[in-house]
Structure 1
């Protein structure tokens, strides 16, 4: 069991302004980001992660170890702003690649549309970053934060709530199995789609299986990406090719000649093996689907397959416990909205807890947590509806529906005042 509590971080406050504590179950990207947001507001937290954290040092080699073998995340402008707010973006941006334009089309159809940063007068529509780099920098920042305690190899086994606190029991292995309890004002569960905490609290979920599997990986093309993201819809499902950084150098350099691209390829569940095992078949399939929009696909890295399921917690607050991240809402990856929605949730809850501290009140007050849940429902429902509408709308085989969506794409591209609304929505600036 690792218990880390080192000194100073650019993301943390200089000293605690409250003795109240937050327990965070799940130390992935959302859990660590939430802990850093709390630290920024002077609120201490303990993060429990079931997996083992790697040993990291700020002096470690920062080079990429897998040129074509990485998963990636599209960060919206709002998510970038949140990381800027806590002083972490300067550490992240060297491995981030701007999205300056988004091209949208449907395979075998006439409709197409484009968003351009110059027309929308924005710095970018977001950034694409390798998950490994994001995770490394979040973990380093958390390890250096005096208000964050990290405990890895910890398996949550029980949750008990009292009138003024919550107690979490967990087990860990050091030669033999041990059990330990921690108590805090509030527990926030960021422990993923199959959340243990959610199950212990007897919170049911509403689950929908898309009967699709996402093939995720990195490819290389002969043509530079020029910071353009390509969204393409096929009968099998939505597809995306996103720009990535060069193996070395800043992904936001105007002169970068990046040829690496992140790919999300959606296929019917049961057909994924042929895209995982045969590079030539995978590249040929991409070429057929995208044509020459991205140039010629010349190399593919190792790929992963992820069955797509929408999992929604039927409630996100139970007493002094909050369900957050994929534990609260696991979404289809279309338009890259899932992680960014989680970051907006985390940001709002951290702000509400900070205001509670400044008033000298309880950060785990169930009425406060219920207000958080209510405050976030509108944004969450809008994103969920949007994702499902895109998935079902662009896979519906009816010729009339196909005609309507292509006309809609052209209308979106040509009619004034529509693009800014959609652009702001995609950038996470309307919540």
Structure 2
């Protein structure tokens, strides 16, 4: 099998396949850094990192393939989530004890996740890596798909029964396959980074909704401990801040202004914001592929669906896709072996079955993101009153929280 795109989704998919004994060749356009398991793993960029909230289902997937043990030192669990609307009366709390779960998920530096995925892939005999390699063409026939690659001045072709493209929201592979997209520009920019507060996070995530969009601070591990217990609950927090497009420059360049804005938004809930690290700005656009299967080729990850970051569902949805396809391919391989045959992992009807199997979960998450963004950005006073009543109802009516929590953790799809 050929995988195009060696980011977090592509590497994870390759490792999932390897767990089932399926070989893959992964092609990545960027140059991978030279790393070693013996490298210093200290948090050298204490306030300068992007982060991802991993759902409970995502953690379970990494546990199953034996990767979580190397990841967990930089993972900080979320024990409760406090949800409210800025300047309004509505408020709700999700608590792990009340819902009977170990946690609602874990927050981790993207750099650490990527480092461990790459180390695992390099050490796995089922995975062959080609970095600094550009895909220039994809062709298909009745029995295989072929990927034309340029690398370091040489050209070569990789052929396999199946090609899976995980090469990002602007996916060149998606264009080569002739797959169109539907897009929606939110006219917003997501500003992400890390801040320090004078109050320990106590494993609490705080989400505020505003007329601009969702704003969140999530717990992170500190410079000394892994955040696994109260004694190492640190003062470092991941921030997702949404602003209108065109207004991001001051939030990026002026630390005092950024910290003061966060203080105004979150009040005393997180304590006092005392230091901000380097921040990144990302225009927010929903991009949905018109199709996810063409012949013997599948698009996955942000190439299939790039979503608004509200509730941190994007990467977790991508990993559920990868897990489902890997499991289906493994099942086909076992069935063929039992019959003394060679499995055709690129069979179009089987790939279409995967696409259809994932539609319910994908559409549910897409609808949820659009509903939250649309309802909480409305300035209509009737809508504002209704959503605050809705938050109170969510907090008080029995039976609602467990259902929502299960979906948020990826345990129901």
- Counterpart in the other structure of 2:392: 410
- Counterpart in the other structure of 2:373: 391
Cα distance in structure 2, aligned partners of 1:57 and 1:136: 9
Native 8 Å contact 2:54 2:105 kept in 1? yes
Cα distance in structure 2, aligned partners of 1:421 and 1:209: 30
1:57 Cα offset (Å): 0.9
TM-score w.r.t. the length of structure 1 is 0.94
Q: 1:379 aligns to what SS in structure 2?
A: helix
Residues 332-351 of structure 1, C-alpha deviation per residue, up to 9 Å, x if partnerless? 00000000000000000000
Is the aligned partner of 1:118 residue 2:97? yes
Native 8 Å contact 2:227 2:233 kept in 1? no
Residues 243-302 of structure 1, C-alpha deviation per residue, up to 9 Å, x if partnerless? 000112222123213100000000000000010000000000000011111010000000
Give 5+ residue unaligned stretches, structure 1: 1-21
- Counterpart in the other structure of 1:47: 26
Residues 44-99 of structure 1, C-alpha deviation per residue, up to 9 Å, x if partnerless? 00110000001111111111120000000000000000000000000000100000
Q: 2:232 aligns to what SS in structure 1?
A: coil
Cα distance in structure 1, aligned partners of 2:306 and 2:403: 25
Cα distance in structure 2, aligned partners of 1:140 and 1:154: 19
- Counterpart in the other structure of 2:80: 101
Residues paired across the two proteins, number? 407
Is the aligned partner of 1:252 residue 2:234? no
Is the aligned partner of 1:429 residue 2:411? yes
Cα distance in structure 1, aligned partners of 2:97 and 2:394: 17
Native 8 Å contact 2:203 2:233 kept in 1? no
Is the aligned partner of 1:29 residue 2:8? yes
Is the aligned partner of 1:356 residue 2:332? yes
Is the aligned partner of 1:152 residue 2:131? yes
Is the aligned partner of 1:205 residue 2:187? no
- Counterpart in the other structure of 1:142: 121
- Counterpart in the other structure of 1:340: 316
* Runs of 4+ deviating beyond 3 Å: none
- Counterpart in the other structure of 2:360: 378
- Counterpart in the other structure of 1:310: 286
Cα distance in structure 2, aligned partners of 1:350 and 1:203: 22
Give 5+ residue unaligned stretches, structure 2: 337-342
1:400 to 382, 387, 393: 382
Native 8 Å contact 2:8 2:114 kept in 1? yes
Residues 135-154 of structure 1, C-alpha deviation per residue, up to 9 Å, x if partnerless? 00000000000000000011
Cα distance in structure 1, aligned partners of 2:224 and 2:26: 33
- Counterpart in the other structure of 1:16: none
- Counterpart in the other structure of 2:47: 68
1:376 Cα offset (Å): 0.1
1:363 Cα offset (Å): 1.0
TM-score w.r.t. the length of structure 2 is 0.98
